[in-house]
Amino acid sequence: MLHRTIHLFRKELRLHDNPVLLAALESSEALYPVYILDRAFLTSSMHIGTLRWHFLLQSLEDLHKNLGQLGSCLLVIQGEYESVLRDHVQKWNITQVTLDAEMEPFYKEMEANIRCLGTELGFEVLSLVGHSLYDTQRILDLNGGSPPLTYKKFLHILSLLGDPEVPVRNLTAEDFQRCRAPDSGLAECYRVPLPVDLKISPESLSPWRGGETEGLQRLEQHLTDQGWVTSFTKPRTIPNSLLPSTTGLSPYFSMGCLSVRTFFYRLSNIYAQAKHHSLPPVSLQGQLLWREFFYTVASATPNFTQMAGNPICLQIRWYEDAERLHKWKMAQTGFPWIDAIMTQLRQEGWIHHLARHAVACFLTRGDLWISWEEGMKVFEELLLDADYSINAGNWMWLSASAFFHQYTRIFCPVRFGKRTDPQGNYIRKYLPILKNFPSKYIYEPWTASAEEQKQAGCIIGQDYPFPMVNHKEASDHNLQLMKQVREEQHRTAQLTRDDAGDPMEIKVKCDLSEENISKGKVARMTK
């Protein structure tokens, strides 16, 4: 018997490689493509800033347009998801609800509630994995029911599993013609809302526009340079370049506008034609596997996004300092490199991974000793690519609370940026108040004389703040705190420790070694 189906889009906002949508089309006589805009659910589950709301609405509009080209449409229904489903299952005589399977606890709970509703109202529920390379449950099963807690162990499990499933075929107009489409009047009734409809600022300065169409165009642009693809080594990309030196595709993967399996196999085809190419963990495919690693660990670790009750996370007495946290968030630390990064994050919704390292280290173990949970919340609000698993995993990593153990390596908020951008062009772009300082002062404007500050049109302490901490004193003190924590909680620290060092920091580590040898200092980045 063919079904009357509601296909529920959640995070897979695309038509290419969408296995559960394909299954819905093949099993249905009528298909209603639906996105339930449940603002109460979304805002209670995650922090969503203005830029990410824009990106979501743009992605929905693009999905509606692409469905229209195949003879269907997207119905965006606002309201509490369970009430919306209950009403429309009965109104449309629905016998099946299909949805993408997700690993976040709040999405798992949603699916469980939908299945209970299906039992009550008499409809079937089908969910399939499409947001990750692998079904994380298969990885857990192969590892004895628990997540592999190191990247090395994780890669070993993947070697036993083999390659991910290949992407499913593209959808066609014929697929949709076999199913009765929603009435044309429904599309107007349930249109994609505008930002103003949701009381969101209508302006967005982000260079990233949401949607599958834009994501696929960006993907093709990157894959045309096969030399760049094969030689890509993530630690050697530049954190303060004025254009992204990495792919910049992460917002499209996060929202499901791009399929990670499609990207993985496109890369495999390019690698197969090359004599030499970079390898995981630093290659482009390696970046997808890091994503998969955090997805797997998060899927089976209680309280993954917090310190308390998290079995793999060091329990640290971080300082509670709302004023200092606010200065960091609002780009008022007095360190131009840090403040430029936080300004780019707020304006555009994206920053390079090494820039993320710098501001995260500064907030946590480097300078301010403020909890990684606070930084995670800010990133979740401001990043277009904010992701439950990756965001929390990276913050635990960068604060040396889990996964990362070279805690003596502290990013200097002056020298780190200066190494790749000695002229300070990145700072001049995002902190125009400092643009007239000579290059020798641009990273440390407080060292300029009063006359030089006057000539630059920026008086430190009035127009731009003094540094909020003495980096050397703060980092030395925090290093001793971290050393004590790790000695007291040695067993927890060892849970996520690989035999090898941090492979993602190869380039930084080499630079540090060269710098410290030449200056006769310990291998640590301090001012």
Binding-site residues for FAD, in ranges, read 246-250, 287-294, 385-387
How many CA atoms does the CB half-sphere of 313 hold within 13 Å?
26
Residue 433 has a CB neighbour count (10 Å cut-off) of 16
Instruction: Please state, in angstroms and rounded to a whole number, the distance separating the CA atoms of residues 130 and 256.
Output: 9
Kindly state the DSSP code that residue 169 receives in the 8-state scheme. P
Write down the residue that tokens 């495999």 correspond to: 268
Closest C-alpha among 9, 332, 297 to residue 154: 297
Residue 49 has a CB neighbour count (10 Å cut-off) of 20
Residue 226 has a CB neighbour count (10 Å cut-off) of 15
427 in Cβ contact with 443 (< 8 Å): yes
Helix H, strand E, coil C: the string for 171-191 is CCHHHHHCCECCCHHHHHHCC
353 in Cβ contact with 234 (< 8 Å): yes
Coarse DSSP helix, strand, coil percentages of the chain, rounded to the nearest 5 percent: 55, 5, 40
Return binding residues. 246-250, 287-294, 385-387
3-state secondary structure of 365: helix
396 in Cβ contact with 372 (< 8 Å): yes
Exposed / middle / buried, residue 33 (Cβ in 10 Å: 0-12, 13-18, 19+): buried
DSSP-H helix ranges across 383-442: 388-398, 415-420, 425-430, 439-442
Residue type, 389: S
3-state secondary structure of 33: strand
3-state secondary structure of 337: helix
Q: What strand order describes the sheet that includes 3-8?
A: 75-78, 28-37, 3-8, 96-101, 124-129
Residue 86 has a CB neighbour count (10 Å cut-off) of 14
10 in Cβ contact with 102 (< 8 Å): yes
Our CA angle for 256, 392, 147, nearest 5°, is 85
Instruction: Please state, in angstroms and rounded to a whole number, the distance separating the CA atoms of residues 135 and 300.
Output: 13
Closest C-alpha among 274, 262, 264 to residue 227: 274
Write down the residue that tokens 């959808």 correspond to: 171
23 in Cβ contact with 128 (< 8 Å): yes
Our CA angle for 382, 383, 389, nearest 5°, is 120
